[in-house]
Amino acid sequence: MGADPTHVMVDRQAAIKNTHVFNVKVDVEGKATNQRSSGRCWLFAGTNVLRRAIIKQYKLDESFELSQSYLFFYDKLEKANWFLENMIDLADRDIDDRVVQYLLASPVGDGGQWDMFVNLVEKYGVVPKSVYPETYASSSSGRLDWLVTVKLREFAVQIREQPASAASLRVLKEKMMEDIYRIMVICLGEPPKTFDFEAVDQNGKFAVGLKNLTPQRFFKEVCKYPVAETMSLINDPRNKYEALYTVDRLGNIVGGHPIRYVNTSADVLKKLAVNVLKSGRPVWFGCDVGQFSNNKLATMDTKVYDYSPFNVKYTDISKKNRLLYGESLMTHAMVFTGVHISEDGKPVRWRVENSWGEDLGDKGFWIMSDDWFSEFVYQVVLEKSDVPKKLVGLLDNEPTILPAYDPMGALASPH
């Protein structure tokens, strides 16, 4: 007998004040998307940012989407190769080594980071969802993940137990990758090499008809989003601000862009995000979505629950200590599309495009309180031109390397 205690702990006043009214909002949001039973939030958030320019240019219905499944296919493929390269590189380490075990735990998890998204779209381009739609295996990815993981662990055994040079192991790896590719094609279908892009506008009139496009050409000529000119800012109070960080052995494409974060304060993240939203552009961000979050209200608010009967408050542990003691980490990527600014110029609440369908919140859009941003938002992605030169210049430095299992890599790792 009993029920979830949080159902009766909702603070009514906090729920009432979280209204979907914003005095700063992008003009084209797009309809909320649905990642379903998968961990592809970062791909959905990324494609949601990219699609807006296409919707705007051709006056398309806001239900238009880019194919998340297309990028998912190549991300899985590249992660498999990344994992095997790591197994070759770490073949002389003990099997109980913490990093080896961490990589074996989830060789090709669904998660990812912004720089991994950049790697994918720069190498493979993008396609409309109509060209490469969802399948069962993309929308409910657990079985596909299991199949690929079983093969990769089998291959890891072969790599570690075979007395061979790294060069000969890489020849063997190419044969292994053929098996992974076969699994991906069976489950998701062969990705298109070329396609036609035809669509009608919001009024049902023919809007665009582009023939024989490659995904790479579609990205460069139709999307026109400057992914190469973006950067990630994080708020990690464990570590020094105004410094560059990366995460050991985190990535997807061998030889691609490394994961790089410039660490700064939450106030800087907010100020820059507000400026971008005021210019009419959305902001990709990473956070710990499960903290003080109410699905029914589609609200992220440090005051949404009254936990006083349990003597629990979010202020009992600092943001720094939550990261240090395992209480918080990056778990989810979404997109800011608006913010409400008070009369004294400070953000009050943020409008969030989630990828959990249209049934929650304002047709899939959530509300985040500004206090929640301070405590549980860890990353925002901005164009370099929107960031102070002093912070941009840090990208030229050698980064401090955080361990593979660090919370700042958790968005792309098992959690």
**Secondary structure of residue 189 in the 3-state scheme:** coil
Choosing from 34, 86, 287, 332, the catalytic residue is 332
Residue 202, CB-side half-sphere exposure with 13 Å CA sphere: 12
Q: Which DSSP helix (H) or strand (E) runs through 149?
A: helix 142-161
The structure tokens listed for 205 are 């009139």
Pair 321, 330: CB distance under 8 Å: no
Pair 376, 292: CB distance under 8 Å: yes
Reply yes or no on whether 354 is catalytic.
yes
By the 10 Å C-beta count (0-12 exposed, 13-18 middle, 19+ buried), 92 is classed as: exposed
Reply yes or no on whether 7 is catalytic.
no
Reply yes or no on whether 332 is catalytic.
yes
Choosing from 34, 235, 263, 354, the catalytic residue is 354
Map tokens 């660490």 to a residue. Answer: 263
**CA–CA dist 7, 369 (Å, integer):** 20
Encoded amino acid at 221, one letter: E
CA distances to 133, 202, 261, 323 from 58, in Å = 21, 9, 34, 44
Q: Which residues touch 222 (CB under 8 Å, ≥6 apart)?
A: 54, 57, 197, 210, 213
- Beta-bridge partners for 379: 234, 286
What sign results for the dihedral spanned by CA atoms 310, 316, 319, 322? negative
DSSP letter assigned to residue 293: E
Q: Which residues touch 125 (CB under 8 Å, ≥6 apart)?
A: 214, 215, 216, 217, 218, 219, 220
Rounded to 5°, angle at Cα 73 from 175 and 148: 50
For the beta carbon of residue 14, count every other beta carbon within 10 angstroms.
19
**So which residues are the catalytic ones?**
41, 332, 354
